[in-house]
Amino acid sequence: MSDEGPVRSVARAMQLLRALQLLGEASLATLQRRTELPKPTLLRLLHTLEAESAVWRARGDGLWRPAVHFRPTRILTPEHQRLIEVAMPLLEATRERLVWPSDLAVRVDHQMVLLETTRRSSGLAVNREAIGYQIDMIRSGVGRAYLAACPLRERTRIVARIARLRHSDRESLAREVDALCAEVQAQGYATRDAAFGGRDEPIDVFDDQLAAIALPIVLGPKVLGCINVVWLKRVDTLASVAARHLPLLRKTAAEIASAWAA
């Protein structure tokens, strides 16, 4: 940052775009409550962003919507930066003992985001997703681990957001997620959906050939993020990996939470 400091109009525009992306669609009044920007300022920003094709307003309902979506890259917030700093030395130590690598993921809105990984340092031929990659919340191991550990009110909000984006029935999706969470809580760890190949495409279109077990990093009522261990599913079975490596993964998750608290 230069000595002149941040450009206020740019900071406000980014604040508005982040709020609109989080909401998906919003009235002017909703955006004003969320951003706490003065109405004239908010209108100027919206019309400027509309002229730049960054937002648009539907005639049918008058709501504003984002025309572009931000894709997180590496550091999302200072909190995420700190989580990386405390978690990665512990995950690297875990990788040295397990051989198979681990990912560190956090929730951003209705998805998990890959914050860091030890895949590169593992030296193994495993798929290396880009930092910032958005991970399906309901089908992935880290997403299921998060949903099963977070407070019910938070889970309800996440499910409602996903149902709205999918144009699906919220109550049916909530029942599906409740059943998944009960299964995760009963077995003590989360796994991928059998039909999940690592991306949004059907598994017969894209399959990264990986399996995973995942755990949340829990501190009090808060889920800081989730960690996993991933391996080539043709090499070992889920039951075998869980039996051998789950105790160490649990220990690592607890140590990350302790390091964060300290």
Q: Which fold has domain 8-66?
A: Arc Repressor Mutant, subunit A (1.10.10)
- Supply the pLDDT for residue 2: 44
Average pLDDT over residues 7-18: 88
Consecutive H or E run containing 168: none
CATH superfamily for 78-261 is: GAF domain (3.30.450.40)
- Supply the pLDDT for residue 1: 42
Residue 137 and residue 158 in contact, taking contact as beta carbons nearer than 8 Å: yes
> What letters, b where the CB count within 10 A reaches 16 and e where it falls short, cover 219-239?
eeeebbbbbbbbbebeeeeee
Q: How confident is the model at residue 132 (pLDDT cuts 50, 70, 90)?
A: confident
- Global pTM reads 0.73
Q: How confident is the model at residue 6 (pLDDT cuts 50, 70, 90)?
A: low
Percent of the chain with pLDDT over 70: 93
Average pLDDT over residues 101-105: 95
Query: Where do the domains of the chain lie?
Result: 8-66, 78-261
- Supply the pLDDT for residue 75: 55
Closest CA to 126 of 212, 203, 194: 212
pLDDT, tens digit (0-9, with 9 covering 90-100), for 73-96: 555 688 898 999 999 999 999 999
